[in-house]
Amino acid sequence: MFNRLIAGIILLSTAGYIFGQTSESAPHRHKPQYNPYSPTVHDPVLAKDGDTYYLYCTGIGIDGFSSTDLKKWKRLGPCLPSLPQWISEALPGAKNHLWAPDIIYHDGVWHLYYACSAFGKNTSVIGHATSPTLDPSSTDYKWTDRGMVIQSVPNRDDWNAIDANIIIDETGTPWMDFGSFWNGMKLVKLTPDMSAVAKPEEWYSIASRPGTTGKNDGAIEAPFIYKHGDWYYLFVSWDYCCRGRDSNYKVAVGRSKNVQGPYVDKNGKDMADGGGSVLVEGDGEKWAGVGHCAAYTIDGNDIFVSHAYDKKTGRSQLLVRPITWSDDGWPQVKL
């Protein structure tokens, strides 16, 4: 049943491009109409509250969408319509364009994490907001900003405070993995309410990518840790997003029996030393690049969610695919 649902998503996504575009140059002439079957998104994450799926992604105040079938998506508007004051103080001149959210339900509350930054800089912060429900029609619906979790400062930190992901380990302890370029992906333990770094601070380097110029150009970002069976799987994105048809984004993976790592690839190489096995990448036909993924088990189905750059239009589109598993326990995703 789930595979038929995903097949329907793929068909509807393709139809959206066929009927939504009159020529390859159309995107350059005018802003395209919103297509509910093929929304343009960056850095999507997924949750299910009741019978409804909710999608959150990079945008003004973090864009929200809802769907009852993972096919047709309704825009909900921003979670945080106004830029939190603490961001204005931490990053003077910042706009309310918030990046790369993560969403998780814990202790009866939904927790939303997001970043504010400037492209190509590690002048960045990760923030946190909570709501008792994801349903905007509920009288209980309200995102309350909880402030800063961490901040990266140029010339002080060799990491970048964006692309947060939260994982709760088998003991119930919350951890945050994050990072983009610089010295790679980091992991840190959070307080029980998931609002701050736990004391004493323990920082782990879980993945990196060798640079070519020595100027923080090791192209790796968007870590996401997913527990399946006895293993923690670490997904990261390699190479470059945001270049339209020329994007060469791809997803690599490693695994560990411990949330702190080490995460090793299929050849046994530690991801902290540049290891990683490619899980999915552009096919050179429909998709130019695939990346910034998330993975979930929802209603017994293992789901891969990411954005992907359409080879024809250059737009970043939502990609939802089933995860299957090899005999030796590695995830598999087909475009």
Positions marked active-site: 43, 221
Distance from C-alpha of 9 to C-alpha of 290, rounded to nearest angstrom:
17
Are 303 and 332 in contact by the 8 Å Cβ rule? The answer is: no
Please state, in angstroms and as integers, the Cα–Cα distance from residue 255 to each residue in 38, 227, 271, 326, following that order: 32, 9, 9, 14
Are 65 and 73 in contact by the 8 Å Cβ rule? The answer is: yes
